[in-house]
Amino acid sequence: MKRQKIVAGNWKMYKKLDESHALIAEVRGIVRDEYRGEGKVVLIPNFLALPSAVRLLEGTGLCVGAQNAHSEDQGAFTGEISASMLQAIGVQYCLVGHSERRQYFGETNEICANKVKSLIRLGIKPIFCIGETLDQRQNKRHFREIEEQIVQGLFHLDRKEFAQVIIAYEPIWAIGTGLSASSDQAQEIHAYIRKLIANQYTEEISSLIPILYGGSVKPENATSLFLQPDIDGGLIGGASLRARDFIDIVKAMR
């Protein structure tokens, strides 16, 4: 079996509803005209745009993801959206533990672990985000940090559950800064993550888990990143807001 390649566009808190619709339509059109590959394309707009994104992308092969989900199915959690609510409208992917959620909304590995469990139970694929700060890298603590996030956030899953996971390695110093990790730096961490998974589960499971790179991916650096043996695509922020750039990154998936 071959690993699934994936390019996902995280639109963050950008694009009002009509702007989201326009961008979805533009991306849909260009992907249809220009992309013949087998990689998955996932669009991750804000919550308001999710129902129409699901409708607009039905039957196109493009998928819809959410940026966050609460782990409880329902309850008195004002302002939250549950994984089961996402499932009910046909969302197929969901980011978990993006560094902005960890930094600004206090998400811990434990909170992320519960979200992952709930999403998998409902058949939604979690895109679990991990990454180190610049300070951690400079002090050579990045391997330890990555390991801790993976162990605490994912290793409570059994083999069958874990096989549903997608991991996105996003060094925090590379997100939105224009400063991408080099292909070698990214490959080194991706190979390390794969080794951790093989040790905890099996070689086979490890070889099948998609590990995406995120952090200032652009059309200019996507090809060299995606050519690395353990990089299976990307999680794209800024460049996913421009249809042309996003498609060019999608086309770098081979």
Catalytic residues: 98, 170
Q: Buried (b) or exposed (e) across 50-69, using 16+ Cβ within 10 A?
A: bebbbebbeeeebbbbbbbb
Q: Which is nearer to ligand PGA, 90 or 219 (CB)?
A: 219
Q: Which residue matches tokens 């963050």?
A: 12
What six digits make up the tokens of 2?
Answer: 């071959």
Span interacting with ligand PGA, options 17-25, 32-40, 86-94, 208-216, rule CB under 6 A: 208-216
Q: Buried (b) or exposed (e) across 169-203, using 16+ Cβ within 10 A?
A: bbbbbbbeeeebbebeebbebbebbbebbeebbee
Among 112, 175, 186, 231, binds ligand PGA (CB under 6 A): 175
118 makes contact with ligand PGA (CB under 6 A): no
Q: Phi and psi (nearest 5°) for 92?
A: -105, -20
Residue nearest to ligand PGA as judged by C-beta position: 237
Q: Name the helix (H) or strand (E) containing 184.
A: helix 183-200
Span interacting with ligand PGA, options 159-167, 170-178, 184-192, 204-212, rule CB under 6 A: 170-178
64 makes contact with ligand PGA (CB under 6 A): no
Among 39, 171, 215, 233, binds ligand PGA (CB under 6 A): 215
Per DSSP bridges, beta strands 63-66 and 166-169 are unpaired
Q: Phi and psi (nearest 5°) for 63?
A: -115, 165
Q: Which is nearer to ligand PGA, 10 or 68 (CB)?
A: 10
Among 159, 176, 199, 220, binds ligand PGA (CB under 6 A): 176
216 makes contact with ligand PGA (CB under 6 A): yes
x/- binding map, residues 222-251, to ligand PGA, per CB under 6 A? -------------xxxxx------------
Nearest to 113 by CA among 160, 73, 168, 153: 153
